[in-house]
Amino acid sequence: MLLRLPLPRVMLLASRPYSSISRLALPRQQRRSYSASVDSSVEPIRGLELGVAHSKLLLRTVASMRGNAELQAQGVSEGDSKKMNMCQAINDAMRHTLATDDTAVVFGEDVAFGGVFRCSVGLAEEFGNERIFNTPLTEQGIAGFAIGMAAMGHTAVAEIQFADYIFPAFDQIVNEAAKYRYRSGNEFNVGGLTIRAPCAAVGHGGHYHSQSPEAFFAHVPGIKVVVPRSPIQAKGLLLAAIRDPNPTLFFEPKMLYRSAAEQVPTDDYVLPLSKAEIVRPGKDVTVVGYGAQIYALENAIQMIERDMPGVTCELIDLRTILPYDADTVAESVAKTGRLVVAHEAPRTQGFAAELAAEIQERCFLRLESPIERVCGLFVPHPLVFERFYMPCAVRSYEAIRRSLEY
């Protein structure tokens, strides 16, 4: 006999469309609070302009682009440039690949239409539907097909529409792509494989469109994992990933697709994989991150240097998560004696733990304080409570201050 028990109000709400939930469960003045801007008057922000739009790390002018040492080394700093957001820079990288490599193909869910984030817009019209094409909605199939094409000598650039949905392809990536060269004694390889995937928070994605899965793959020998922070970085690192003789996962922080814009060289160039970049030099504490987290760390450093006169913080962008550049971080920590590591993924078993352990082994006698980790909370990525989950500028500020005052 089935009993018909009254459902609690929250369960009744959960059975309704989200728009109905928001109208019933929240007072009118709170309905949009999850996406409202941060109150810049509170401590320790106190009027500081936060976020990517105000970042001093972006090369927004031609002069700043031409002064970049890496672009100078590539011989593209004096050439033509164009203002691009990160989405356009990724599109430009794929266009260069398709124009210079007849074996290159680009595919994924809705890719021929331009992709859900428009990163592949115009490529099918320019290069044809045999090289830019849609796939069925099967991430395992996309990865398996990409591995097969790379094994036959193609340059395969596959897109997983959201990094959250890469897990059905986990077996193909970890047990096939990563081991292909090793298990054949270097007779065969899938070095021409690159998998792109939009990742990380976007402000309203919830737990199925906001995850940062890089640590799952950083445990796997045989692949590379890259996360860019800006348009110039995205173009150069994506071209390097595509041309690298190893299969590479390229995670793109989707929050930056349109919020980050720079003067990007229109010429072809690559930036080094497995090489971290010191984006802001300092002497008192080393602060390490990657992707969109770099901008939260930049704001935290601005607050620290305002509130603690004389203190300077060294900010390092790892860029490549596997294999990562431990040498640059260790050299910095040997100088500063302190380390703070931050990322959006949950703290438990996150990549920050690996970096903290490595630096503790290398720099134990140099450390002046415990290594700090600032990470996402150990919960599914929330929707309305995303602000509490995120390793924001304020949480990063508190960790840096704890390290300095220890």
Q: What is the mean pLDDT of residues 322-351?
A: 98
Give the catalytic positions in this structure. Answer: 139, 209
pLDDT of residue 42: 73
pLDDT of amino acid 368 = 98
**Quick one: which of 380, 397, 377 has its CA closest to 389?**
377
| DSSP class per residue in 247-297 | -EEEEEETTHHHH-EEEEESS-----TT--EEEE--SSEEEEE-TTHHHHH
* Cα 247 from Cα 140, distance rounded (Å): 16
Gap between the Cα atoms of 167 and 62, Å rounded = 41
Residue 357 CB neighbour total at 10 angstroms: 11
pLDDT bracket for residue 39 (50, 70, 90):
low
d(CA 211, CA 344): 8
Helices of type H across 34-192: 62-66, 69-74, 86-100, 123-127, 139-151, 170-171, 180-183
**pLDDT number for residue 33:** 34
Confidence (pTM): 0.90
Residue 28 has pLDDT above 60, yes or no: no
For the segment 44-71, what is each residue's pLDDT rounded down to a tens digit?
A: 888 888 999 999 999 999 999 999 999 9
Question: What pLDDT, on the 0 to 100 scale, is given for residue 38?
Answer: 58
102 or 21, which is more confident = 102
